[in-house]
Amino acid sequence: MKLVLGITNALSQALQRRDQDIVNAISLLGSAKRQLQMTRDQGWDSLIQNVYSFCHKYDIEIPVMDAVHVIRGQRVNRRISKVTNEHYYRVDVFYTILDMQMQELNCRFPETSTELLLGVACLNPIDSFCNFDKDKILRMARLCPDDFDELGIETLSCELDTFIINVHDDERFSDLKGIGELLRKLLQMKKHMSFPHLYLLLKLALILPVSTSTVERVFSAMKIIKTSLRNRISDEFLNDTVITYFEDDLFESVSNDDIMYRFQDMKARRGQLP
């Protein structure tokens, strides 16, 4: 597990940052998959040598790898399997864990999601559109057939060619920090009327993170809040609690005295705060 977690640590840290670098995260995803596959193909010998060294250092008994593996259950009697210890630890444990990890990464980040994320990254105006890639943006648009048919894709392609030249010549687009600022700037300068298909794609890109990562974070917060001791709270109270937990940066600026006085003013109470 130390080996597996070490391989995926860089990817995990990149995905948990608030300032998401999607291009870097996708690159780390590919590296993690390749490293896991290389470990599966070539990493058994080095791993078993490390295990032997660890066992010798702490006087731990090492099973004979060529011996028949004994399955230990809850019963006193032991069942003897037909496989060796090496087969059990290599195939049933080592390969299985790595396969599960690679399958989880493939399920979490399928090819469609990867192309969407790369397309969003290519629309990001940071550093004067340094990540701009027309082909990746068009592949992203093709994943939205309800909004972009073949004619719409061709029109978008022409708009992208004109747009990137136009913004490079305009200093007002040089210091933008995200897709949200780009969208506001297009509206302020009325350029959205010149690039309607690009404007639609930018709106879809702006909605995508809200509809995915925010929902995932809310469900993660719900697992922390709605415990076994609080599994019968009402939906209204649960919603208020989730908002308080989710917007912790905002609520840290509210003092306890303000909360107590607000609670006291809600209705008449027997005791009054000093």
Written as tens digits, the pLDDT of the chain (274 aa) is: 888 889 989 888 887 776 666 767 878 888 999 999 999 999 999 999 999 999 999 999 888 888 888 776 545 445 556 788 899 999 999 999 999 999 988 888 888 878 887 888 888 888 778 888 899 899 989 988 888 999 999 999 999 999 999 888 888 888 888 888 888 888 888 888 889 999 999 888 887 765 555 556 666 667 777 777 777 777 788 778 777 777 778 888 888 888 888 888 887 766 666 6
The predicted pLDDT at position 214 comes to 57
Closest to 14 in 3D by CA, of 2, 41, 32, 38: 32
From the CB of residue 259, how many other CB atoms can be counted at a distance below 10 Å? 11
The predicted pLDDT at position 173 comes to 84
The predicted pLDDT at position 215 comes to 58
The predicted pLDDT at position 250 comes to 83
Q: How many CA atoms lie within 13 A of 83 on its CB side?
A: 9
The predicted pLDDT at position 225 comes to 75
Partners of 71 in beta bridges? 79
Q: How many CA atoms lie within 13 A of 261 on its CB side?
A: 6
The predicted pLDDT at position 138 comes to 92
pTM of the prediction?
0.57
Closest to 195 in 3D by CA, of 156, 236, 232: 156
CA angle (207 as vertex; 204, 210 as ends), nearest 5: 155
pLDDT tens, residue by residue, 3-55: 888 998 988 888 777 666 676 787 888 899 999 999 999 999 999 999 999 99
Partners of 80 in beta bridges? 70
3-state secondary structure the chain: CHHHHHHHHHHHHHHHCCCCCHHHHHHHHHHHHHHHHHHHHHCHHHHHHHHHHHHHHCCCCCCCCCCEEEECCCCCCCEEEEEEHHHHHHHHHHHHHHHHHHHHHHHHCCHHHHHHHHHHHHHCCHHHHCCCCHHHHHHHHHCCCCCCCHHHHHHHHHHHHHHHHHHHCCHHHCCCCCHHHHHHHHHHCCHHHCCHHHHHHHHHHHHHHHHHHHHHHHHHHHHHHCCHHHCCCCHHHHHHHHHHHHCHHHHCCCCHHHHHHHHHHCCCCCCCCC
Sequence ranges of the domains in the chain: 2-109, 112-212
Residues with Cβ < 8 Å from 7, sequence gap 6 or more?
Answer: 32, 35, 36, 39
The predicted pLDDT at position 76 comes to 44
Tokens matching residue 37? 């596959």
